[in-house]
Structure 1
Amino acid sequence: MKVLGIETSCDETGVAVYDTEAGLRAHALYSQVALHAEYGGVVPELASRDHVRKLLPLIRQTLAEAGMAVDELDGVAYTAGPGLVGALLVGAGVARSLAWALDVPAVAVHHMEGHLLAPLMEETDEGPLEPPFVALLVSGGHTQLVAVDAIGRYRLLGETLDDAAGEAFDKTAKLMGLPYPGGPHLAAMAEQGTPGAYRFSRPMTDRPGLDFSFSGLKTQVLLAWQKSDQSDTTRADIARGFEDAVVETLAIKCERALDAAGCETLVVAGGVGANRRLRARLQAMAEQRGGRVGFPRPAFCTDNGAMIAFAGALRLQAGQSEDASVRVTPRWDMASLPAVQS
């Protein structure tokens, strides 16, 4: 089955073709970072308009790179939520129209399920990743620990009570004067910082539970920055202290989640999953426990069409599809998804 995947949940337009027999055939991504940089954050109306401009050319480009004609598609998958309602409607409208014109099924994909399943596309020396496992979904909008009993059967173990980890990275970078989007700039600056020069708390690790909170950590950084000489060296040291605190907090909670789920396989997905220090820390933790940890390639940590095409292909293969209505769900509980019966 050859499935076209469309991702337009926020500020990146992603398109891919996934073949259930041959794997990923082609993918393309357009980022709106330059468009929103002037405003210091995503402007929903501008995001929607840019998806309108870029989506059809990206579909043509991706099909050409896959060496396919549009009528060779067997199905279409699209992000229906969570996300910005206007941006979601662009992708859903195009996907539903294309599926109707080709008389092929279309399936609505949960954005976070796409992230959660992205590591399953990767080939590893240890063999394919399969449920059951614990997933850490860590991005600008979400920080969640999820027990994955099977594809489509998810149990929320813990989540952030305020800022997501990626959001905390971006906001902390902004308060120290780093350009938008701040998270990657802060991580790059942390590479130059001195370990231990600044030590911040590991929020909510001194009590039981699997929930997260990063707003207090952000305040600690602000106070440290305001009291400092605000030099480039100090900025790098504070960035390193902040990153170490986030990475250690995530690692502590992941280990607790593995214990709670009685599992030794961890999957990490979402934009923060590309962080080099987080990957190294979780890899070391998994090896110490005698388990394994799976990551998507860095290009698939951020929003992309490949994860939507893959997740959609699994559901289309299971006989799941949508009617011809164009519907999106900006707020969507992943636990409400139907299981995939293989």
Structure 2
Amino acid sequence: MPRKQPKAMTTPASDLLAWYDRHRRYLPWRSAPGETADPYHVWLAEIMLQQTTVVTVGPYYTDFLARWPTVADLAAAPLDDVLTAWAGLGYYARARNLKKCAQTVVAEHGGHFPRTEEGLLKLPGIGPYTAAAVAAIAFDQPATILDGNVERVMARIHRVATPLPKAKVELRALAARYTPDVRPGDYAQAIMDLGATICTPARPRCFLCPWRETCAAHAAGDMESFPRKSPKAARPQRYGICFLMLDKAGRIALEKRPEKGLLGGMVQVPTSDWLGKVFDQDTAADLAPLKAKWRRLDGSVTHVFTHFALHLTLFAATGVKVDSRYQWVGIDQLGNVALPSVMRKVVAHGLAKLV
């Protein structure tokens, strides 16, 4: 009678990879399991995905690759073109660093991304998470990634009581124990998919999870209590005034922000400083960029940045003339300038109130 073959031993990583092979997400920047991914594609997607959803990133990623198919193409692109293409993704320092990183890869590495975490970390705009993600996904290096999805999975599996952000060191050590030497790139994408589609912040679908049998939080029935988080401080509030100027043809006067600082290098409707106090509206004329018949528009525009909320009051003047500091842009051409989301809100609100 033939002897039964022993059952192959499984590990958490192999269980997750088996799940990934059946249920992985199909994303524009992702290669098939086991296939080599293009480092440029991986890097571009990972930079875009920081603080941004997959659904939002998809069209931007496709557009960037159509305009700049290689890292050399991106390195040679004018910064204003890159910022304009980035408009709407937010966190515009990422766009400036994207350009710098592409230039560095071309100038110092012959157009090839470094293959190691250490080498990738030396590039502009690449931090520990992105370096690990590119090393693992593009070069199949056993690098441990730690983003919000991985933190949540590890915190639940081990019921880590330490609150974030203090728990990051502990969670990274736990995540490293799971990172395999075999198929580390697929594993990195698998654990991100697990957090994004199964081990979600609210109402996790534990019945579909390949790790539910070893998950301490699932056993205790308190999955949504993890990861623990320190109480958030109240978000600071800032205030400012925007000055919407139109000429007789209905074009809008825009100016470029300084290269450094928040929204650096982007285009804006002229604005006052953004301060932590409400402006005295009677002083608006003193803050205006030029003398004109200014009128205050009803309502205001609120935009939430990472570290503060901004409240903008609008004043408008029509039929004005401006100097060379400003550029006149037709309403139908606003999509061709690097206008950040907050300023798109300002323009939309202002034009609606002027009708």
Question: Shorter-chain TM-score: which interval?
Answer: under 0.3
- Larger strand proportion of the pair: 1
TM-score scaled to structure 1, two decimals?
Answer: 0.24
TM-score scaled to structure 2, two decimals?
Answer: 0.24
Question: Highest relative contact order (Cα 8 Å, sep 6+), 1 or 2?
Answer: 1
